[in-house]
Structure 1
């Protein structure tokens, strides 16, 4: 009786066949001068790929030099030579054009380019890059609420990234400050109907302010929990940045001044998924968008009656 695995195939002991050596032809690397693509003769070619490279390199150099109009022109020319199946370069060029338009104050064109990128997104990496692009566009033009929406989606896509949570918390603070300033500057009416309408608007504004305040508390608590976990594996300037952000987070939470019961409840809720095994899984990277669903960021805590919470001191 033979034990399973105790026998071997005879082919294991056969001698290897004689291998025929193939002589490799000599290879001469192409040497290029610095900024060779800036020369007028660089476009003296019929190769579409070479023209694409020239315009792409010119655009990248112009961005580095701060000449965004020149970079936009170069990227636009490059896009004409990008092959239809070269989606990587196409997305890179479109994003470069959108960022140049942002710097040039062309808000609508920048958003149109972002929408074009969103239509061509096929995986989570594309979607994350798109959301980061939108955040930069909205931040440049001062669209705080739209920026907050994109950051919320980023936090949903990357729930263990503390920097997106921190940015979202800072955006909530900015929105709170702007809403308070707007409220102080609102005109008052002496007619009873207008006064009633203003009272209703003030109540709605206060409720909205409370929700944003609670969201800010949640974001900074989540940031603090994530950074405390990550700093165990950090050192050098990375650890210094983490420690500095933790100090800022603690100061902001003191300024927001939630009740101790609110702080404990929020900490308990936002730490439920902070399991080391789950945090190590990078299951979303490159995943098809067909299986991704960005749900509303509004959690159960925010949807509860804030009066029953008694969240603030």
Structure 2
């Protein structure tokens, strides 16, 4: 039973039409030398598309080699040659520029480019790429609260993707270490409260519980290296839950809450990959899971102490 909407269309299995092969009178393929776009002569053209390609390829190559300043300059030059209706290349170039700025330590400019991309996002694929880019930027600059917020948005956008839940759990788990690897200096008081240990502990628990539930569903449909990756992730998840050490009753209660929407029919209905943002109705992380978890923990004697602390922190 396929849950995530990747079934084949019936037309894939229909008989192929008879095709008439026509021989070409002549064929002169364009021959390109390796890294031809790096030569000065590559820009000796009046074709805007060719210039766009040259600058784009130069930027991609420089990015791959780790020369982020050179890549940024090439991408910037590429922008002026991109047609107004070529939104795909424009988004690709803007994302490349944002990643270059991040590597160069230009936080404000990177976030400005991210903001520009957010205004042009029109479907869930765009939004997913945007949120992943934000996670990368915030991680580089140690913005823990913003990174967690973006991961929560990814979990809300793609609630049946275990990898975003796993990432969220791992960030929370790192914050619980006595000497966290994540830098959290310079936080405001409000941010310090939101990163309270009990708050993070509970969020880590539900993230890993959700990851475990989803991986167990997915591995029934997987094989080969994909299945191996899921098994490794499941081992990481189990080890994380052992470290968090929730009481059995709390674990059972949280598992019930985080599995409420894991119904095949509902999962198919909520699969929104590639849909227009104008037609997608998204529930926030707090509305869909967090508020329920708080209420459930408040009623659970084993989780009462942590829930009381959390409610006092989250109350206005």
Range into which the TM-score falls when normalised by the shorter chain: 0.7 to 0.9
RMSD: 2.8
Aligned to 2:263: 275
* Contact 1:210-1:306 at 8 Å conserved across structures: no
Pick closer, same or farther for the CA change 1:211–1:94 going to 2, 3 Å. same
* Contact 1:215-1:302 at 8 Å conserved across structures: no
User: C-alpha displacement at 1:285, in angstroms?
Assistant: 1.9
Aligned to 1:254: 242
Residues 208-238 of structure 1: per-residue CA shift (max 9 Å, x gap): 4322211111110010111111122223332
Aligned to 1:69: 69
Q: Which one is further off, 140-149 or 26-35?
A: 26-35
**Cα separation, 2, equivalents of 1:114 and 1:158:** 20
1:238 pairs with 2:226: yes
Pick closer, same or farther for the CA change 1:180–1:46 going to 2, 3 Å. closer
Q: Secondary structure at the match of 1:255?
A: helix
User: C-alpha displacement at 1:57, in angstroms?
Assistant: 0.4
With CA pairs under 8 Å and 6+ residues apart, which has the higher RCO, 1 or 2?
2
* Contact 2:254-2:293 at 8 Å conserved across structures: no
User: C-alpha displacement at 1:145, in angstroms?
Assistant: 0.9
Residues 51-105 of structure 1: per-residue CA shift (max 9 Å, x gap): 0000000011111111111111110000111111110000000000001111111
Aligned to 2:9: none
Q: Which one is further off, 41-50 or 283-292?
A: 283-292
Aligned to 1:296: 284
Q: Alignment length, in residue pairs?
A: 274
Pick closer, same or farther for the CA change 1:160–1:305 going to 2, 3 Å. closer
TM-score w.r.t. the length of structure 2 is 0.79
* Contact 2:174-2:180 at 8 Å conserved across structures: no
TM-score w.r.t. the length of structure 1 is 0.79
* Contact 1:71-1:100 at 8 Å conserved across structures: yes
